[in-house]
Chain A
Amino acid sequence: MDIVSLENVSYQYEGTKKPVLKGVNARFSCSRIYTIVGKSEAGKSTLLSLIAGLDVCTEGDVFYKGTSLKKIDRDDYRAKNIGVIFQGFNLLTNATGIENIVLSMWISGNREKNKKEYAYALLEKVGIDRETANRKVLKMSGGEQQRVCIARALSNNPGIMLADEPTANLDSDNETAVLNILASLARDEGKCVIIATHSQKVASIADEIWGINDGRLLFVKHS
């Protein structure tokens, strides 16, 4: 079943003459990994933002389980159904790794009783030990921050995992580790994983590869 779908979605930034996305139609299902490839500023991040409910399309509609995002509370939608791994991590830099995860759990309404222990477990799953988890984000390496970002995206147990260039700031070892985590999320936990990337290595783990060219989303291939 499609968990998220886009129907004739267009988007144009304020003050620009050309739309960045034009008439995009796509369907995304659970337990699958999708990669969206394209040149820089092709509109990959914009597409993820629209799916994440961080922005609203200027034309068309985005549906979550058949319901238009225009009809649901987008804050709740983001908090409960979407996990985003941002390219720039977007963590609270003056808080510790563990605080970032616990706060995200509170916001999403996660009912776990011992949120801190649950967060430690999540961080451990992505390779962050307790000592690192208690460091301020600013004092973590890029790889560590990326892992914390993944753990945070998982903290609300979302159906959809969006990753924007998740390995852009990582070395080869870390890149492999993060890709393994993402692949596991789809294969083992049944999540819909959508990754925006221009990395061939990342694209290689996808079930479906889509490309954006001149604002249009085109199906490229099944892997």
Chain B
Amino acid sequence: MYIFVNAIKNIGRNKGRNILMGVIILITITVSIISLCINNTTNSIIDDYKSRFGSEVTIAPDMTKVTRVMNINDVLSARKTTFKAITPQQYLDFARSEYLKEAVITASAGVAGDGIKAVDEDNNQGVIGRAIDSITGSLSGDDYAMPTMTLIGNQWDEFNKGYRKLAEGGKMPENDNECIISKELADLNNLKVGDKIKLKSSVIRISDNNEQEIKNNTVELTITGIFFDATEEYSTQVKISSLNRRNEILTTIDTMFNNFGSLIGVNAKYYLKNPSMLEDFEAELRAKGLDEYYLVSTDEAGYQKVVGPVEGLKKGSLTFMIVVLIFGSIILMVLSSIAVRERKYEIGVLRAMGMKKKKVALGLWLEMLIITALCLAIGFGIGSVVAQPVSDTLLAGQIENAKMAANQGILQGGPMVGSGVLLGRPIEKEPVPLEQVDVSVGMDTIIEMAVIALALASLASLTAITKITKYEPIKILMERN
């Protein structure tokens, strides 16, 4: 205890020297705190994005291979010979993989009501007629059930997000041929829970001899619930009933597969347990019959575009921290070495009084530790205020660099970023780089910094401690006297 008390008193007794040491430690610690804050925040961002970009698998036609074998003048026949489309059953098979942490498969089909009317169905007049004519051509328009509503299997996102809510008395579909409908659709047709609705679906098939034929399918579903819908009715300017979200009839995926077979559009999202499992997962898909013209990939380009500047920021701050730590340590060791030389006499006196070397060393280490702890407290204060503006400035620089690099890439004919349109896949938004990183002093930063500070104080004291072990008290005192 007395060593600790004496260490505190010694700090006050040698103000000038300790202030100088304190300033060096404070600078080193503050820079390290800022760097660690940025590093830890960017780490969590990168991990988050890595898992998002790296684990969601895209299965899309490999356009390079497709265009190489396609006869441009006979696209349709080429597709028949080169492509084996993924069947709904295959989508389900693919989902049964040990490499996946999650698979979300939704299916949809455009349907027309048999005896029920869709919301805004009146808007379809004219549009529908022209559409049927253009689709059916020479076929009889009466046979074709133009979709006025959408039947969707396994899409419950809006319920999870709170945009849709089941009305009291209803339940979600659990069994085959059960469905839920929007309140608007129910009100329009005086439907209630327990009622049955008939839905018709038509698909035009091209036969082997290149003739078109209409294939119809009818399904009868029981309404198990009615939901309130707060989603946007239309996401486009075109206001036809099949695009109105109030006309979405929600059912199970099995209902879709069992009743419509291959007549549905399937949207499958596969999430890997770990991005590194991509190769193994692809091998499994190939074994399960995935055509070679399909590309299995994660969105690496999107990841790079979004996270690239943040990674640059992380690397930059980390490098800066390491440099400052190295220089800070060297300066501290030199200062400490000079300080212990100045304090040689004091050490001689203490040793002459009978204080053991290890206790003298402990005292010196405690002095450095106390100074470091004070600097750490001040450093956290400064760091938490300064880290955000420093991060913003550095990130702005990284974004600018990334933009310049991207522009150069385009000029040199480099790869385009973003998925665009891939054979019927929806147009995805171009990934936007992260322009703001919210830096904060977290517990991980505090722990890491405490360890670094402890190491810094110990390293600085080590020089002094090594020196004092060489001093014999009588020699120090004789030199002085």
Which of A's residues lie within 8 Å of B, judged by CB?
49, 52, 54-55, 75-80, 82, 84, 86-88, 90-92, 94-95, 99, 103-104, 106-108, 152
B205 is an interface residue with CB less than 8 A from chain A: no
The answer to whether A87 and B346 touch (CB under 8 A), given A49-B474, A107-B354, is no
- Provide the residues of chain A in CB contact with B355, threshold 8 Å: 75, 79, 107
Known: A49-B474, A75-B351. 12 other contacts (CB 8 A): A52-B352, A54-B352, A54-B474, A75-B357, A79-B353, A86-B352, A88-B481, A90-B480, A92-B346, A95-B13, A104-B353, A107-B2
A52 to B473, CA, bound (A): 12
A92:B354 contact, CB within 8 angstroms: no
Residues of B426-481 whose CB lies within 8 A of A: 472-474, 477, 480-481
- Provide the residues of chain B in CB contact with A75, threshold 8 Å: 351, 354-357
B354:A76 contact, CB within 8 angstroms: yes
The answer to whether A86 and B481 touch (CB under 8 A), given A91-B349, A92-B349, A95-B9, is yes
Residue of A with least CB distance to B474: A54
B2:A103 contact, CB within 8 angstroms: yes
B16 to chain A, nearest CB (A): 11
B82 is an interface residue with CB less than 8 A from chain A: no
A106 to B353, CA, bound (A): 10
A87:B481 contact, CB within 8 angstroms: yes
Chain B binding surface SS class: helix
A90:B352 contact, CB within 8 angstroms: yes
B350 is an interface residue with CB less than 8 A from chain A: yes
A73 to chain B, nearest CB (A): 8
A103 to B8, CA, bound (A): 13
Partner of B349, one of A79, A87, A90, A99: A90
B230 to chain A, nearest CB (A): 75
A90 to B472, CA, bound (A): 15
A82 to B352, CA, bound (A): 10
B274 is an interface residue with CB less than 8 A from chain A: no
Residue of A with least CB distance to B356: A75
B257 to chain A, nearest CB (A): 84
The answer to whether A94 and B13 touch (CB under 8 A), given A86-B481, A88-B480, A103-B2, is yes
List, sorted by A's number, 26 A–B pairs whose CB atoms are closer than 8 Å. A54-B352, A54-B473, A55-B474, A75-B355, A75-B356, A75-B357, A76-B354, A77-B354, A78-B353, A79-B353, A79-B354, A79-B355, A80-B354, A87-B481, A88-B477, A88-B481, A90-B349, A92-B350, A94-B13, A94-B14, A103-B2, A103-B350, A106-B2, A106-B6, A107-B355, A108-B354
Interface size classification for chain B: 20 to 34
- Provide the residues of chain A in CB contact with B13, threshold 8 Å: 94-95
- Provide the residues of chain B in CB contact with A52, threshold 8 Å: 352
Residue in A54, A78, A108 whose Cβ sees the most chain B Cβ within 10 Å: A54
Residue of A with least CB distance to B1: A106
A106 to B5, CA, bound (A): 11
* Binary A-proximity of B332-367 (CB < 8 A = 1, otherwise 0): 000000000000001011111111110000000000
Closest A-B pairs by Cβ, 10 of them: A79-B354, A106-B2, A78-B354, A88-B481, A54-B474, A94-B13, A55-B474, A75-B356, A107-B355, A107-B353
- Provide the residues of chain A in CB contact with B351, threshold 8 Å: 75
Residue of A with least CB distance to B477: A90
A76 to B358, CA, bound (A): 13
- Provide the residues of chain A in CB contact with B9, threshold 8 Å: 95, 99
B354:A86 contact, CB within 8 angstroms: no
Residue of A with least CB distance to B12: A94
- Provide the residues of chain A in CB contact with B2, threshold 8 Å: 103, 106-107
Partner of B350, one of A49, A94, A99, A107: A107
- Provide the residues of chain A in CB contact with B477, threshold 8 Å: 54, 86, 88, 90
A90 to B13, CA, bound (A): 17
A119 to chain B, nearest CB (A): 13
B45 to chain A, nearest CB (A): 51
A214 to B42, CA, bound (A): 77
- Provide the residues of chain B in CB contact with A86, threshold 8 Å: 352, 477, 481
A29 to chain B, nearest CB (A): 23
A108 to B357, CA, bound (A): 14
B479 to chain A, nearest CB (A): 11
A16 to chain B, nearest CB (A): 13
B355 to chain A, nearest CB (A): 5
The answer to whether A84 and B352 touch (CB under 8 A), given A54-B474, A55-B472, A92-B346, is yes
A18 to chain B, nearest CB (A): 17
A193 to B357, CA, bound (A): 28
- Provide the residues of chain A in CB contact with B350, threshold 8 Å: 92, 103, 107
A207 to B355, CA, bound (A): 32
The answer to whether A90 and B356 touch (CB under 8 A), given A49-B474, A55-B474, A95-B13, is no
A167 to chain B, nearest CB (A): 16
A186 to B349, CA, bound (A): 25
A55 to chain B, nearest CB (A): 5
A158 to chain B, nearest CB (A): 10
A160 to B349, CA, bound (A): 18
- Provide the residues of chain A in CB contact with B353, threshold 8 Å: 78-79, 103-104, 107-108, 152
A91 to B352, CA, bound (A): 10
Residue in A77, A104, A106, A108 whose Cβ sees the most chain B Cβ within 10 Å: A106
- Provide the residues of chain B in CB contact with A99, threshold 8 Å: 9
A84 to B472, CA, bound (A): 16
A91 to chain B, nearest CB (A): 7
Partner of A78, one of B346, B348, B352, B481: B352
A148 to B355, CA, bound (A): 19
A54 to B471, CA, bound (A): 12
- Provide the residues of chain B in CB contact with A107, threshold 8 Å: 2, 350, 353-355
A21 to chain B, nearest CB (A): 14
- Provide the residues of chain B in CB contact with A76, threshold 8 Å: 354
- Provide the residues of chain B in CB contact with A90, threshold 8 Å: 348-349, 352, 477, 480-481
A174 to chain B, nearest CB (A): 19
A17 to chain B, nearest CB (A): 19
A107 to chain B, nearest CB (A): 5
Residue of B with least CB distance to A156: B354
